[in-house]
Amino acid sequence: MPGPHHQEWLARVDEALSLEDRTKARTILEALLGEVGDEQLRLRERAELLSLASFEGLLIHADGKIIEINDRLCEMHGYRREELLEGDIIRMCVAPEDIPGVLAHMRDGFQGEYIVTGVRKDGSRFRSEVLSKQGLLGARPIRIGAIRDVTERERTNALLRESEARFRELADAAFDLTLFSRDGVILEVRGASERVLGHSAAELVGHEVFEFMAPSAVPAARQMLSEKRLGFIDVTAIDAAGNLVPTLAVVVAGTLNGQPVRVAGVRDMRAAQRLEAERRGLEQQVQRAQRLESLGVLAGGIAHDFNNLLAGMLGNAELMFERAKTTEDKEIAGAVITAAQRAAALTRQMLAYAGRRGLGPRQPVDIGQLVRELRTLLDATLSKKAQLEVVVDEASTVLGDPVTLGQVVMNLLTNASDALGGRPGRVSVRVRRVTEVDSRWDQAQGAIVGPGQWVLIEVEDSGAGMDDSTRGRVFEPFFSTKERGHGLGLAACLGIVQSHGGAVLVESELERGSRFSVLLPASDVAAGAPEAGAPRAATNPCRVLIVDDEAIVRNQLRRSLELRGYTVVEASGGSTALELLAARPEAFDVVILDMTMPQVDGAEVLRRLRAAGSLVPVVISSGYLDVSVERRLPRGEFQSFLAKPYGATELVTAIERARTASRHTGPGEPNLGEPNLG
């Protein structure tokens, strides 16, 4: 449809032409003007469509004056078109703190992107991104601005940065080292890189991760990278000094400064491997201790029953020897006595392994002096091809039993001599006092040792040594590498050392010899001169009550004592003994009381006896005194102890010692002279 300007053109045509020409020209001009109008309409509609379809707010200004804006800009800020065109659009739509920056960009003709805080008509704010560009409108320079609401994008980016920060904090806490890499090249390093690899972070960045791996670990790592796999991988790294460092890497996908990367959290496994080795070592120690404890219970039970039999055998053999009429009969009885005594020595070793504590008082023992006293015996006992070296320090005193401690030294030296296998070699003994112990003693058996006052005994040989399997079983009873060994020598050593509160450590390698080390608690009490042996007790017949559940033991004791003039009454159990003592409290001068009996054992008999007020002297007798039973013994309520098997001399001596101890206490005094339980 012709507009106002079109009508003006038509009027001019009418004035200049004739009617016929005017009609033709008017027709042609109307057609041309119609086409121009349609094109302008299409252009205007196209511009309006682009303005409506734009996601950004658009504005065009020249010299700070707004020429054009689109509807999206009006919607974004909540204003009507007229309000923005007529007002100061910058101060209306930009936060005050960002206005100086916007004006500076306009003044400098800045082209590019920048972020400002937009303000809506209602005063609310949002983050907006401005894209500014220079242009021309005809010959007139203009600036075109495209404004986009990026609030959600900024929030997402902030959350992403926060997530990355949390991830890094978590990685720093969970791993010793975190590596950010792309295509195998290290981009950033966090954590203790110098502690783990001996390199600073700057020394790692820019290098391939494979440069810091052991050659054996590179193929698996390269394959994992090529397959773009994520997950766990064990990697042996190499530190700056060339040492191998076992590590565990956890590889995940991540971002660094908004770009995708591979993130490897690395843990140094050296400490974990040490702890695992210690755990396995402790587990082995516990298993070994449990195994040895079980064997100890077995050995103790065997020794108890065996000693009861030996008590009858030895006692009856002595009776046969005393009653023998001919030399041949005496020799036969003597052979039985010798065999019984050797069997008794064997059971003593079993009891020593089982950890039986001696019931006699302990005394100061100078270990150095003990070794020197044994020197002559050792020279005669050890292999003639063994070169014996003895180095002892002064003041190496412990509290203990010199006989059993001497047995420890003899057994260790005999074992060292046998380890030479008949070949020339060296056996050395060192005794010294120490205050500090190293980590080797964590593998020791016996008491838990730590800083303190100790006496260290070391017996070392240059023999064949032992493998791990043999070294782990040397203290097991009945285990021996010797053709004729019964496997109780070293087992007895362990029991004796344990009973003295000490520990034993074995170190050995095949073809490099062995070293047995013993730690015993040191004592500052000086060792005195050895006491002369007690004279044999004179027979002073009295009335004796024998309490034992083994008939062979009771019969042998009765015959032996009656032969010497004693009056003897037998009781086959604890209940029978209590009945006899209750019925005739003054009928007995001494009670020989077995500890291990069914129903009412010796400890219970003694407790009831003292609770009833009886002061009759008691001699405790046992083939094996279990620790749990010993704890139940009333302290200070018995006078002597007899370890089965024993001979007539030991029996008479114990009876007289008990009677003497009871005479040294007045009526009603609870302590009747019991020996120290050690």
Confidence tier at 186 by pLDDT (50, 70, 90): very high
Q: Are residues 159 and 263 in the same domain?
A: yes
Indicate the number of domains in the chain.
6
Burial group, residue 302, by CB count within 10 angstroms (0-12, 13-18, 19+):
middle
Runs of H (alpha helix) within 420-540: 468-471, 489-499
Question: What is the per-residue pLDDT for 596?
Answer: 82
pLDDT at 200 over 60: yes
d(CA 292, CA 78): 89
| pLDDT 10s digits, 207-244 | 999 999 999 999 999 999 998 899 899 999 999 998 99
CA distances from 34 to 31, 46, 593 (A): 5, 18, 141
Q: Are residues 264 and 277 in the same domain?
A: no
Question: What is the per-residue pLDDT for 483?
Answer: 54
- Please tell me which residue, 385 or 106, carries the higher pLDDT value: 106
In a domain, 451, yes or no: yes
In a domain, 674, yes or no: no
Q: Are residues 39 and 124 in the same domain?
A: no
pLDDT at 134 over 50: yes
In a domain, 617, yes or no: yes
| pLDDT 10s digits, 621-633 | 887 665 556 666 7
The CATH number linked to 332 is 1.10.287
| pLDDT 10s digits, 343-366 | 776 676 666 655 554 444 578 888
In this structure, of 47-51, 196-200, 273-277, 290-294, the range with the lowest mean pLDDT score is: 47-51
d(CA 307, CA 125): 100
Q: Are residues 382 and 240 in the same domain?
A: no
Question: What is the per-residue pLDDT for 598?
Answer: 86
Helix H or strand E segment including 345: helix 327-353
Q: Are residues 30 and 58 in the same domain?
A: no
In a domain, 535, yes or no: no
Confidence tier at 17 by pLDDT (50, 70, 90): low
pLDDT above 90: percentage of residues in the chain: 17
In a domain, 574, yes or no: yes
Confidence tier at 332 by pLDDT (50, 70, 90): confident
In a domain, 668, yes or no: no
Residue range 75-101: mean pLDDT, rounded: 89
Domain containing 12 equals: 4-51
CA distances from 533 to 59, 190, 400, 530, 536 (A): 122, 77, 18, 9, 9
Candidates 145, 142, 38, 127; CA nearest to 90 is 145
In a domain, 529, yes or no: no
The CATH number linked to 141 is 3.30.450.20
Mean pLDDT taken over the chain: 79
Question: What is the per-residue pLDDT for 22?
Answer: 56
Last residue of a domain, one of 149, 172, 195: 149
Confidence tier at 539 by pLDDT (50, 70, 90): low
pLDDT above 70: percentage of residues in the chain: 77
Tokens 């991830």, residue located:
167
The CATH number linked to 603 is 3.40.50.2300
Question: What is the per-residue pLDDT for 544?
Answer: 93
The torsion of the CA quartet 383, 388, 394, 395, rounded to 10 degrees, works out to -40
In a domain, 530, yes or no: no
Question: What is the per-residue pLDDT for 244?
Answer: 92
Question: What is the per-residue pLDDT for 670?
Answer: 38
